[in-house]
Structure 1
Amino acid sequence: MAIRSILTSYTGSGGGAAALHMSVLMAKKYDARITGAVWQPPNPLRKRSAAFLTRDIDTILDQMETAFVEERRLAFETTVAEAGLADRANFIALGNTGRTLVELARAHDVVVMGGPADRGRSEDFSIRPDVIALRSGRPVIIVPADYNAPAINETAVVAWDGKRASARALADAMHILATKDKVTLLVIGEGPVKDREQIDDVLRLLALHGVDAAFEQRPAATGGIGRTILDTCMDLGAGILVMGAYEHSKFSEDLLGGVTRDILENADLPLLMSH
């Protein structure tokens, strides 16, 4: 199955611009359609100060919200037109439809999003990509804010721990991995692999999908498992890291830290995450 529909949450700058750039590269590679979406929440002033808002102030707030969305629409449409993709792109302002980004994501093959939003007003128009991965049931590619590669890097690393989330990520990424020139199945740990038979089974599955993957094991370095995974990606020249999100609960990772959180905060390459 090929990628045919890409959803990108577009804020117009920073991570949103980088995500749109990658979406354009992917749309060209896979002959896919792009949907750009801006989530527009209710202005907090309407909740906190509703009793004190005059009709004129209410009108001004409406105009500000409309202008914000239209600026993003114009930037999105300009970008896809310059890429020659205007005939297979559309833009949605979710605040006007009653739909959420999570709901919209379920009708697309993959979601491409930036990392942390820019400071300022645009923060109100974004949703954390790890939350989309957790709630939508769709894979999310998280793109660093400075990503501007002229072409897609065709080297991939799959972080594998043998658990449910990594299996889910592998399945969700299969149609991408099948197009890569080099794929590495990475296990972090020392000594003999705990379940070498499972590793062989996974490599066989990849081969059946036309993916000639290599296996690599590395011991966890001083910076922890997350840092070791990212360092390995750099060593191998990877253009994307595939991994499962929150094998433990998101609450515990937010509270205590964990591999998912470490990689989200420090990744300097696109990250495909599934849960």
Structure 2
Amino acid sequence: MLKDLLVQIPSERPVRPVIDAAISLALNHSAHLDAISVGLESTNIGLAVDGAAAVAALFDVERERALARANAALEVFESEARNAGIAYSRQAFTAVPVDAFTMLGAMARLYDLSIVMQSDPDYTTSDNMVPKEMLFQAGGPVLFIPYTHKGPLNPRHVGIAWDGSRLAARALRDAAPFIAKADAVTVVSVNEAGMPVETSVENLTTHLARRGIKPRIESLSADASDVQPAILSVAADAGIDLIIMGGYGHSRLQERILGGVTRGMLESMTVPTLMSH
């Protein structure tokens, strides 16, 4: 069940795509929705100012401006949430980016689902780094809403990107509430020839059938660089409105290194995508 949702609302980018999607999900699942927005503080103020008092004053001004940005984003959310009649709360805070990433990741760990907005290359802001950090740190499913998304989100055709891996299996379990409500489910089988027989599409279909789900199967073979475009092509042709997939990546000397398919999807997604890491 999805009863306890978290939405992270950017403070430095347009907010309607993620707000509209999150509120509609809370409404459709009769869930409580907590909204959080962080105003990101600059860390470069002290480089251009002499004197401790002057630096402290500028940091105070920067913090106030950051908090104002976060509250402005949440005011848009609160207006829509109140009109929708959902149960919700809101919280604004400020932090430098690295501290914000840590706090947001920790906050996300107790929720059934975290909802974030895809990074937008048109905005050069640390706000764009939040979605990836949430995926690494949340410890649960993260739903990415494309920055081009418009209107509510009520997925009726769910696509499962299946490669037989542990992360794909986790995403499948995490997405069970969406799959159960869907009118249609398509399994997009990627390079099935390399899968263990235990996690074959045939066995996946058997297990889904025990839940009353009869998926359509789309099998594809592709080089690593072509997997993500192939998944999106199938989604477009089939009318899939939610993709379920594992979120691949690791940390190398504190730098977040995403797998190629995951990175490509986060950069180029055309439909909402649920990932589990």
TM-score bin, normalised by smaller chain: 0.7 to 0.9
Deviation per CA, 1:91-112, whole angstroms, max 9, x where unpaired? 1124389871111111111011
Aligned to 1:234: 236
Moved more, 75-84 or 208-217: 208-217
Aligned to 2:22: 23
Aligned to 2:105: 102
Aligned to 2:176: 174
Structure 2 residue 267 is the aligned partner of structure 1 residue 265: yes
For residue 234 of structure 1, report the CA deviation from its aligned partner. Answer: 0.5
Alignment of 1:190-209 (within 5 A): 195=197, 198-209=200-211
Residues 34 and 47 (structure 1 numbering): CA distance in 2 closer, same or farther, change over 3 Å? farther
Alignment of 1:93-242 (within 5 A): 93-95=92-94, 100-117=103-120, 123-125=125-127, 127-150=129-152, 152-189=154-191, 195=197, 198-220=200-222, 224-242=226-244
Structure 2: which 5+ runs fail to align? none
Aligned to 1:243: 245
Residues 192 and 171 (structure 1 numbering): CA distance in 2 closer, same or farther, change over 3 Å? closer
What's the C-alpha RMSD, in Å, of the aligned pairs?
3.2
Q: Which has the higher strand share?
A: 2
Structure 2 residue 68 is the aligned partner of structure 1 residue 67: yes
SS at match of 1:215: strand
For residue 165 of structure 1, report the CA deviation from its aligned partner. Answer: 0.9
Deviation per CA, 1:118-163, whole angstroms, max 9, x where unpaired? 7568x34454323312221110111111211455230011011111
Residues 119 and 198 (structure 1 numbering): CA distance in 2 closer, same or farther, change over 3 Å? closer
SS at match of 1:100: helix
Instruction: Give the Cα–Cα distance (whole angstroms) in 2 for the partners of residues 120 and 185 of structure 1.
Output: 34
SS at match of 2:175: helix
Contact 1:221 1:227 in 2 (8 A): no
Instruction: Give the Cα–Cα distance (whole angstroms) in 2 for the partners of residues 166 and 25 of structure 1.
Output: 26
Aligned to 1:82: 83
- Identity score, percent: 23
Q: Which amino acid aligns with 2:80?
A: T
For residue 193 of structure 1, report the CA deviation from its aligned partner. Answer: 7.3
Instruction: Give the Cα–Cα distance (whole angstroms) in 2 for the partners of residues 256 and 28 of structure 1.
Output: 32
Instruction: Give the Cα–Cα distance (whole angstroms) in 2 for the partners of residues 69 and 151 of structure 1.
Output: 24
Residues 250 and 182 (structure 1 numbering): CA distance in 2 closer, same or farther, change over 3 Å? farther
How many aligned residue pairs are there? 270
Q: Which amino acid aligns with 1:152?
A: N
Q: Which amino acid aligns with 2:182?
A: K
Instruction: Give the Cα–Cα distance (whole angstroms) in 1 for the partners of residues 82 and 64 of structure 2.
Output: 26
For residue 255 of structure 1, report the CA deviation from its aligned partner. Answer: 7.0
With the length of structure 1 as denominator, give the TM-score of the two structures: 0.84
Residues 163 and 256 (structure 1 numbering): CA distance in 2 closer, same or farther, change over 3 Å? closer
Moved more, 52-61 or 212-221: 52-61
Q: Which amino acid aligns with 2:22?
A: S
With the length of structure 2 as denominator, give the TM-score of the two structures: 0.84
SS at match of 1:95: strand
Residues 124 and 255 (structure 1 numbering): CA distance in 2 closer, same or farther, change over 3 Å? closer
Contact 2:192 2:200 in 1 (8 A): no
Q: Which amino acid aligns with 2:117?
A: G
Moved more, 222-231 or 101-110: 222-231
For residue 5 of structure 1, report the CA deviation from its aligned partner. Answer: 1.3
Moved more, 91-100 or 155-164: 91-100
Q: Which amino acid aligns with 2:115?
A: V
SS at match of 2:20: helix
Structure 1: which 5+ runs fail to align? none
